[in-house]
Amino acid sequence: MKITQKSFGRTKSGEDATLYTVTNNNGMKISFTDFGANIVSIIVPDREGNMADVALGYKNLLGYENNSPGFGSFIGRNANRIEGARFDLNGKTYTLDKNEGENNLHGGTPSYNTVMYEAEVYEEEDMISLEFSRLSPNLEQGFPGNLDITITYSLTENNELLIEYHAVSDKDTVVNLTNHSYFNLSGHNSGSILDHKLWINSDQFTPTRDDLIPTGEIRDVEGTPMDFRKLKRIGDNINDDYEPLKQAGGYDHNYVLNTSRDEVEKVVELVDESTGRVMEVFTDKPGLQFYSANMLTPVENGKDGAVYGKYCGVCFETQHFPNACNIKSFPSSVLMAGQGYEFVTIYKFLCK
């Protein structure tokens, strides 16, 4: 295994960004930057051994400075939506950015994917890890507590991208970290993912209002277009006359995972039969946001001259449930002072 690094440019504020590229002995290669702790590329083989980048992204640093779709992004302090951009904790109301109508989406300003992180490299015989860390100060984005954050990306010889989330706060706070990478197993610049086949280990999802805030209901997927318990094309039911799909313009929903939450378990299998590439997702988080890029407006400055549009990628954001800080029946997203926030997500790539 090896790691290389080179300049990734200078930010608008004059900070020097670095691009780190890790390669394993199978030829799988992943690039990361300390600007935003973003994943820039994921290059993996197909069944014939041909290599392709399966992660949507930008050709330069400027793209990541204006990364509204969240390509490759580390998201915090709270991924997904918070109703009314507010929550109550310990008898106090905290107000956040209203950056999606009246609600808060993915934390606010500054976005975790547009700030600099300290980087450390750790090399082992069968794994190389990149640790990105920073202190999110008290009331950054409106959230209480000084939050020490570490996200560690590791590439293994088993073609696994291992993501370890760690955080600790000096005050009770709300934390929900995730990764917002868009995947296309045919190659990042190959168009629609509607022919990809998908399996999700979930019997239930959380329906929403029209603004995609969960109602608090937990609904069975049985008999609905939301059912991916058997491998099926993403496009098979995406245009069905079903209210949750019409609200989101496709899939943009939180799935209640069938996991013990005590260990990392397989929750997703994504299959591209045209190339033989398969991606499996493992996690110990309680929820998964499955997003089929329904709202992705044309992005014209993608890597290799790519133009990305609707349905060009798919996201699997392991998470606490959306608006969990305001819906007491959901698993809590509150992190108590001094308590460790510790979660793991693995994206594993193979061929069939």
Q: Are strands 160-169 and 147-156 parallel, antiparallel or unpaired?
A: antiparallel
Q: How far apart are CA 91 and CA 27, in angstroms?
A: 53
Catalytic hit among 131, 140, 269, 317: 317
- Whether residue 317 lies in the annotated active site: yes
Q: Which of 209, 203, 210, 208 is nearest to 224 (CA)?
A: 203
- Whether residue 280 lies in the annotated active site: no
Phi, psi of 64 (to 5 degrees): -75, -20
How many CB atoms within 10 Å of residue 14? 6
Contacts for 311 with CB less than 8 Å, ≥ 6 apart: 192, 193, 194, 235, 250, 292, 293, 294, 296
Catalytic hit among 106, 140, 180, 320: 180
The residues that bridge with 7 in the sheet, in sequence order, are: 18
Tell the residue number behind the tokens 């200078």, with chain if given. Answer: 10
Using a 10 angstrom Cβ sphere, with 0-12 exposed, 13-18 middle and 19 or more buried, the burial of residue 290 is: buried
Tell the residue number behind the tokens 């992180």, with chain if given. Answer: 117
Catalytic residues: 180, 317
